[in-house]
């Protein structure tokens, strides 16, 4: 069984990666720092997505003998550009000061207003950068981009872990992401799967 440390304690993100990785290689298990008894490392995310992903991976180097996978993501909206932290821009203070329900309300309201300013729908995309730091210190990088349509409506049930997910339509499936079946979900995240497949070839 192959093990990889994922440089996050966001359970929603970790569970998504687990589902994707199981489709790539069922022999790979992913763990958060908390899972293996490592203190969370906070970094100053002041660089590009690629630089931040690399810094996150390197921040755990030497604390474990496992390969370390890290990610940074941004939300690109036509006419607005790339927003590196689409949650933080909608909050007046740290996310820790709000309940998950409050975060959902504030974040979804902010991005609904962005869509309204564009007539109710606007082209957007999730942009991901991944870095894999190996036990020998070598780092490998890949990127992914998922095209979506941001709307001013909550398109079904709410997802308090990923508030914006309740607002957009995937261009890959032509359906609201929040209503995806498991098969449709895998189609939407195909660019992430492709990026991870390339990186995981390095894990023996």
- 14-40 confidence digits (pLDDT tens): 888 999 999 999 999 999 999 999 988
Burial tier of 5 (Cβ tally within 10 Å: 0-12, 13-18, 19+): buried
Asked if residue 82 has pLDDT above 90, the reply is yes
CATH number at residue 136: 3.90.950.10
**Domain coverage including residue 81:** 2-200
> What pLDDT sits at residue 83?
92
Question: If pLDDT is split at 50, 70 and 90, which confidence band does 74 have?
Answer: very high
**Mind giving me the DSSP string for 60-117?**
TBTTBSS-EEEEEEEEEETTTEEES-TTGGG-SS-GGGS-HHHHHHHHHHHHHHHHHH
Rounded Cα–Cα distance for residues 180 and 185 (Å): 6
Domain count, the chain: 1
Q: How many CA atoms lie within 13 A of 128 on its CB side?
A: 21
Q: What percent of the chain has pLDDT over 90?
A: 72
């Amino acid at each position: 069984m192959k093990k990889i440390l994922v440089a996050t304690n966001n359970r929603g993100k970790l569970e998504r990666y687990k589902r994707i990785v199981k489709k790539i290689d069922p022999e790979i298990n992913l763990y958060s720092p908390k899972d293996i008894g490592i203190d969370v490392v906070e970094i100053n995310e002041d660089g590009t997505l690629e630089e931040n992903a690399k810094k996150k991976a390197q921040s755990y180097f030497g604390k474990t003998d496992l390969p370390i996978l890290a990610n940074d993501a941004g939300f690109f909206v036509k006419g607005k550009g790339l927003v590196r932290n689409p949650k933080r821009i909608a909050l007046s203070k740290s996310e820790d000061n709000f309940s998950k329900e409050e975060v959902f309300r504030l974040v979804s309201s902010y991005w609904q207003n962005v869509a309204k300013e564009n007539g109710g729908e606007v082209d957007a995309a999730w942009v991901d950068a991944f870095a894999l730091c190996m036990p020998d210190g070598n780092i490998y990088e890949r990127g992914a981009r998922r095209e979506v349509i941001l709307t001013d409506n909550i398109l079904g049930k709410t997802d308090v872990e990923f508030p914006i997910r309740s607002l957009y339509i995937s261009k890959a499936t032509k359906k609201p992401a929040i209503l995806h079946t498991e098969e449709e979900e895998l189609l939407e995240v195909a660019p992430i799967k492709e990026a991870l497949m390339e990186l995981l070839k390095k894990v023996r």
